[in-house]
Structure 1
Amino acid sequence: MAQDSVGLSSGYQFWMRKLSVWGQASTLETQQDICHHLPQFQEFLRQIYETLKEMDSRTIIERFPTIGQLLAKTCWNPFILAYDESQKILTWCLGCLITKEPQSSGESKLNSWTRHPEIF
């Protein structure tokens, strides 16, 4: 498990950088890079989901304080969302962020974002 945690953390940083570079996929080079890396990114999202579904929202916020940014960048990328598999896994991840009774501002912010991503 510790090795999986290290791999997920390094992957998290790698994909955050990739998502920042990919932006709105406005160049052909960027679009090709997304298509090339999409299977690996989808696998990373599956790993994130498997990790998130075992955590409560407080632990998610502590372990992945920028999870909202990562998922938001994913939500706004048309080349990633063009694939049903990406949409499905992303929806699963977003579902893990919703808390019925938020206990902190971080939990409230995640709830708001998952319901209204356009405000962030």
Structure 2
Amino acid sequence: MRNPCPCYSGKAYADCCQPLHHGLAAPNAERLMRSRYSAYALKLPDYILQTWQADTRPTTLTQEDLKGIKWLKLQVLSHTQVDADHALVKFVATFQSGQQKKEQLTEHSRFSRESGQWLYIDGQID
């Protein structure tokens, strides 16, 4: 496939995360999480901040902050819709930092929908 999406959805980037990166609202928490993973992989700090709930997001995030980590693979393990405005997503992300060997991060992420838009709240790392 030409220009596959970094989120490992099996779709082209133009048909998957790119529309969200350009302003389309994510239809659910899993799609938002996938688009955020792609934003980390593509080094899009503005999108990451825009999709992070105001109470928990960092004050700033720059491309410099995102340097040094290469995101290699995403596997979504579960997506649970808690109620109409809250959801949980569990995923494993494979990454490489500098010349180090590949590592995996497993996270249980919390999401909320505010004014019709899904936002990342926080995550617990295993």
Q: TM-score, normalised by structure 1?
A: 0.30
Bigger strand share: 2
Greater helix content:
1
* TM-score, L = length of structure 2: 0.29
